[in-house]
Structure 1
Amino acid sequence: MRAERFEAGAASLRIAARALAIVARRNSELAEEVMTEEVPWTTWLPETERHTCVRELLGHLLAGADTGELVPFSRALISWRSTAVAWSDPRLAHDLQGPFPGDGAEVPRPLGEQA
């Protein structure tokens, strides 16, 4: 890929990310609606989590668009998707919220390891 093409793509991403961030600041409901349409699994998140998800993903997207490093955005997207999947199962979501009983069973040290 020629450098000129790469720079054009990077500049376009920066403009789109900043425009979306401006919309999110001025109208968070619209930003969530856009995210829900573009990333449908966000509907499984509780409302407060959805706000946090949109804010965090936009932050990573802006930083990535500015630096060209999009791996943190990708990681956050995967992490939030996994969180949404957990919330989609009411039993699992309930179990993961605690309370958690004690520390669990004591596990003996492996042989040959000293305390």
Structure 2
Amino acid sequence: MTTRSFPFSTLINKQTSVFPALDDADVILERRDAENLVLMRSERFQAMTEGLRLAARSLSIIARSNRSVAEEAFSEELPWLKWLPAEARPECVTELLDHLLAGADTGLLVPFSRALREWMSTAEIYSDPELARRLRGPFDTTTATDLPRPSTTNE
């Protein structure tokens, strides 16, 4: 599927130039002071979510019956999994599959996206043995300064 981009102001001022684009493309409305928005026809949206739900459930079924096949599929699509310690890979795959399945079922994919970024960041740390070693500690706290806990009330 292709996408077309328009400034958000075009939607407000000239809807007749934005809505026809939806016939053969999804539309990205670019906003200066906020996150961009996406417009798409509901039929394409439904097809996308149904496809995602089917793919997520199928992958989850495969993972339950043959974990190594699921890991292999994820490793092929997410090559940075190789940087994780071997004992962390199953946890990563399980967490990502669980978030993907829940997101496909509810339409809320932000937790999946967040977990994907977090695991990738963790893998990037492990890709640098010196950085991983430094982050494991021990930490020199001789020059550390205690800071007061932030207030939980609005003052």
TM-score, normalization by structure 2: 0.65
What are the equivalent positions in structure 2 for 1:1-115 lying under 5 Å apart? Answer: 1-102=40-141, 104-106=143-145
Greater strand proportion: 2
**1:85/1:24 CA distance change after superposition, 3 Å:** same
- 2:68 and 2:107 mapped to 1: Cα distance? 28
- 2:89 and 2:147 mapped to 1: Cα distance? 42
Greater helix proportion: 1
**1:108/1:14 CA distance change after superposition, 3 Å:** closer
Calculate percent identity across the aligned residue pairs: 58
- Name the stretch that deviates more: 16-25 or 3-12: 3-12
Aligned residues: 109
Which ranges in structure 1 are unaligned for 5 or more consecutive residues? 110-115
The higher radius of gyration belongs to 2
RMSD: 1.8
Which ranges in structure 2 are unaligned for 5 or more consecutive residues? 1-39, 149-155
Residues 53-72 of structure 1, C-alpha deviations (whole Å, 9 max, x = no match): 10111111011101111111
Shift of 1:102: 4.0
Shift of 1:82: 0.5
Residues 38-94 of structure 1, C-alpha deviations (whole Å, 9 max, x = no match): 011010000111111101111110111011111111111111111000000011111
